[in-house]
Amino acid sequence: MAKPGDLAPAIEAESTQGTIRLSDYLGQRPIVLIFYPRDFTPVCTAQLCAARDSKAQYAQVDAVVLGVNPGGLEKHSEFSEKYNLDFPLLSDPDGNVRKAFGIGKLLGLFSVQRAVVVIGKD
């Protein structure tokens, strides 16, 4: 897993709001990456809705919030629409974003891929 002080990888992925390039934000705004296993599950829904409800706190520091999981854009869009998520959900079907940050993968019914990575301006 990424450690404090590690440089953030320059990832690119499709999202519910178009192509996201981390390089567009690196050095300019803090970034909060929320890795979660699946759309529409109770714990993941609560986690992402909590991020949505904390919008004002993220705005105080001009942070970009991005959700990431292996699901497809169609399901992400349905999930985002149903719960009024106003931040992009990135589709990571091959796990490239997850791997770039050293986040574990799904093991049976137990997930080790739930993580939050905060990237500072520097």
The CATH superfamily holding the domain 12-119 is Glutaredoxin (3.40.30.10)
- Beta-strand relationship, 64-69 and 89-91: parallel
Measured between alpha carbons, how far is 8 from 55 in angstroms, rounded to an integer? 23
Measured between alpha carbons, how far is 114 from 118 in angstroms, rounded to an integer? 14
Judge whether 49 counts as a catalytic residue: no
Cβ atoms of residues 65 and 98 within 8 Å: no
- pLDDT attached to residue 121: 86
Q: Which of 11, 44, 89, 117 is catalytic?
A: 44
pLDDT tens, residue by residue, 97-113: 999 998 876 555 555 57
pLDDT tens, residue by residue, 53-112: 999 999 999 999 999 999 999 999 999 999 999 999 999 999 999 999 988 765 555 555
For residue 119, list its beta bridge partners.
31
Measured between alpha carbons, how far is 15 from 12 in angstroms, rounded to an integer? 10
Instruction: Identify which of 41, 35, 38, 113 has the alpha carbon closest to the alpha carbon of residue 67.
Output: 35
The whole-model pTM stands at 0.90
